[in-house]
Chains A and B, each alone.
Chain A
Amino acid sequence: MIRIEPRNANSAIFSYGVPILSAFIALILASIPLWFAGAPVLISYVEMAKGVFGSKFAFSEMLTRATPLMFTGLAAALAFRAKLWNIGAEGQLYLGAMAAAAIGTGLIEAPAFILLPLIIAFGCAAGSVGMVVPALLKTRYGADEVVTTLLLNFIIIIFLQYMLEGPLKDPMGLGWPQSSPILDQGMLPPLMERMRVHSGLVIAIVCALIAQFMLARSVWGFKLRAVGENVFAARHAGIKVNRTILSAALISGALAGMAGVSEVAGLKGYLTSDLSPGFGYVGIIVAMLAGLSPIGVVISALFIASVFVGADSMSRAMGVSSYLADLVVSTSLLCVLIGGFFSRFKMVRTSLKGQN
């Protein structure tokens, strides 16, 4: 007989080892689809690595891709810590992006030190609204936030299409559904010359540090963790559960909204309906791979961005579909889930005889 028993202590080897091993296994498993696609496996891996570390430009592209993933990863990590299943980061990202485009394309003419904070504030606020509504539907009516946030993603993207065909449409855009360009003084400054990586990355890392501190050291962080770990015990201890859930929703939505701000006002400079290739959903994987730790989110976002950027460049060189990246990333989530099980439980061989 094999019995499953919880491990007594969560050892450091497991909490750091499992995500790293999972990422590694997912990369190795990618050789199966590569082989199916008929590509020489080893050369493909070399091409993938070159696509990330091959040049200064390649590396900066990886950092550019990691930036929105850090924001959406933090959005998922903080909400999941409170067992608030925010699956709506994709929609909240677009709400943030729409707010940034609405404010930054000429509505307000102001110098950078006024305009930039305004764009960020409105972008975050828009993202917050996108998460507070489902959180209220959960606390007031008991409507499952998984379903409402998922469905809101679709509603918000349809709303985005309306905005891009109407109020936000660029009159000079030759009929393309895109917004006018963000004013120069509304753009997040670039970090390196002639590269696309921008100061959104710095903001993301600062957000992660603050979140890490708040979660580990502040009263709010304690309440959040308490609600997430045992809602009955938290209520018994006098923690206002609904208020804590709403505060988590507010911050989670703001971070997702910031992902949209950073893409519009940091990278693209204007808003289109294909701004995000699923950053909101990938953020969930980033968060899980990080074990819901904010600092971990930074590292796992770098890893997942490497997979995407590396696979993109490999697929151009080898003619393999770039959906390989999504395959590797989703496999790494399944691996880390299974690994997480073995770090929390152990298999114990039990004999039927001699049990006293």
Chain B
Amino acid sequence: MVEIFQILLSESFWAASLRIATPLIFGVLGALICEKSGVLNLGIEGIFVAGAMSGWMAVWLGAGLWGGVLVAALAGGFFGLIHAILTVPLGLSQHVSGLGVTLFATSVSYFSYRTALPNVSSPPRIEPFRPLEIPILSELPFIGAVFSQQTAMTWLALFMVGLVWYVMNRTGLGVAIKAVGDNPNSVDAQGLSVYGLRIGAIVAGSALMALGGAFLTMSAFDAFFFGMVNGRGWICIALVIFASWKPGKALLGALLFGAFDALQVRMQTEVGAIIPSQVFLAAPYILSIVALVIAARRAEYPRALLTPWFKGQR
């Protein structure tokens, strides 16, 4: 027990928690925007892969780090648009379309990677984002040490939490997105475009998801590996229900998850001899299922989630 407290009080633990949480923050926010507009986006796992691959590839080709971020967001938006066209005007099954987009985005990414680099066993490395020193903040005790280890992408993720909260709760656009996910007919009656709002929300949400992938190759690591996303997208889909579609709670959920993951890595070195390491490896996935089961009962899904809407058909 003493060891746990020592871990919980260490700066490196909290810095790691925030780092692990960053891709999830992007992913949960992206999923939240899509689902608030009434469309489940199971393309998330593939969009993570596409963001990770395209962002990294752009930097490797000389686009610069922020150029890479932009390319990743555009790639995410592109695959989001495919999902949007299939599910909004065509009204197809959101489950199947999303899985199709995941498989498509993953295979496009893997194929492009292998075609660009046919014969490499270890992928070339890029110069990733460096930790950002914030003048006054980094001098604070404890907090300073936690935050001065973070890169600009983590700050971008935290900024996005605020931005998404502001747009969803304080602007007309946010009201319209929420309304289109609850009662599209009322939005249509207002003379607003249901299709436009939903497609826009899915594309924007997917662009955000892709940044979560880009964080993996451009900040957490410095190269692209097959299978590196490893279910993070699916975890985000569970977390968004846990967060009851609220940006603040999404941040909290991602941080809790990051803290748990950071804790299990450190516990592994402490008690690794007694408990098989696989228990710790499986823990994040088990935790996600537990969180989902707890949250599912009282979850208030957007009322029109999964329901397609056709113009002129009531």
Contacts and interface: CB of A to CB of B under 8 A. Distances in A.
> Are both chains from one complex?
yes
Contacts of B104: 327, 330-331, 333-334
A141 B312 CA distance: 36
A155 B285 contact: yes
Contacts of B293: 137, 141, 143
Given A144-B241, A334-B104, A151 B235 contact: yes
B60 interface: no
B297 to A, nearest CB: 6
Contacts of B166: none
B111 A324 contact: yes
B111 A143 contact: no
A87 B99 contact: yes
B281 A158 contact: yes
Interface stretch (A179-187, A216-224, A336-344): A336-344
Contact of B108 (A137, A147, A159, A327): A327
- Secondary structure dominating the interface of B: helix
B114 A323 contact: yes
A166 B275 CA distance: 13
Contacts of B160: none
Interface stretch (B67-75, B88-96, B147-155, B251-259): B88-96
Contact of B231 (A3, A154, A162, A341): A154
B92 A321 contact: no
Interface residues of B, number: 47
B114 A337 contact: no
B285 A154 contact: yes
- Secondary structure dominating the interface of A: helix
Nearest to B313: A4
Interface in A275-313: 281, 284-285, 288
A87 B293 CA distance: 18
Contact of A147 (B118, B234, B276): B234
B108 A154 contact: no
Interface in A30-58: 33, 36-37
Given A159-B278, A337-B92, A148 B97 contact: no
Interface in B278-303: 278, 281-282, 285-286, 288-289, 292-293, 296-297, 299
A331 B230 CA distance: 22
Nearest to A340: B92
Interface string B95-133: 111011101101110110011001000000000000000
Nearest to B114: A321
A352 to B, nearest CB: 12
B115 A337 contact: no
Nearest to B277: A162
Contact of B82 (A37, A166, A320, A334): A334
B206 to A, nearest CB: 15
B107 A326 contact: yes
A142 B299 CA distance: 9
A161 interface: yes
Interface string B210-233: 000000000000000000001100
B297 A334 contact: no
A68 to B, nearest CB: 17
Contacts of B57: none
Contact of A144 (B91, B108, B296): B296
B289 A143 contact: yes
A59 interface: no
A150 B278 contact: no
Contacts of A270: none
A146 B95 contact: yes
B118 A319 contact: yes
Contacts of A36: 115
B278 A162 contact: yes
A122 interface: no
A210 to B, nearest CB: 25
Nearest to A5: B313
B276 A162 contact: yes
Interface of B: 42, 82, 86, 90-93, 95-97, 99-101, 103-104, 106-108, 110-111, 114-115, 118, 230-231, 234-235, 237-238, 241, 276, 278, 281-282, 285-286, 288-289, 292-293, 296-297, 299, 310-313
16 contacts: A4-B310, A85-B95, A141-B297, A142-B299, A143-B292, A147-B241, A151-B238, A159-B282, A161-B278, A281-B103, A319-B118, A321-B111, A321-B118, A327-B108, A341-B90, A341-B91
Interface of A: 3-4, 33, 36-37, 85, 87, 137, 141-144, 146-148, 150-155, 158-159, 161-162, 166, 281, 284-285, 288, 319-321, 323-324, 326-327, 329-331, 333-334, 337-338, 340-341
Given A137-B289, A151-B289, 19 more contacts: A3-B312, A33-B115, A143-B292, A143-B293, A147-B238, A150-B237, A154-B234, A155-B286, A281-B103, A284-B99, A285-B100, A320-B115, A321-B110, A326-B103, A326-B111, A327-B104, A329-B103, A333-B103, A337-B93
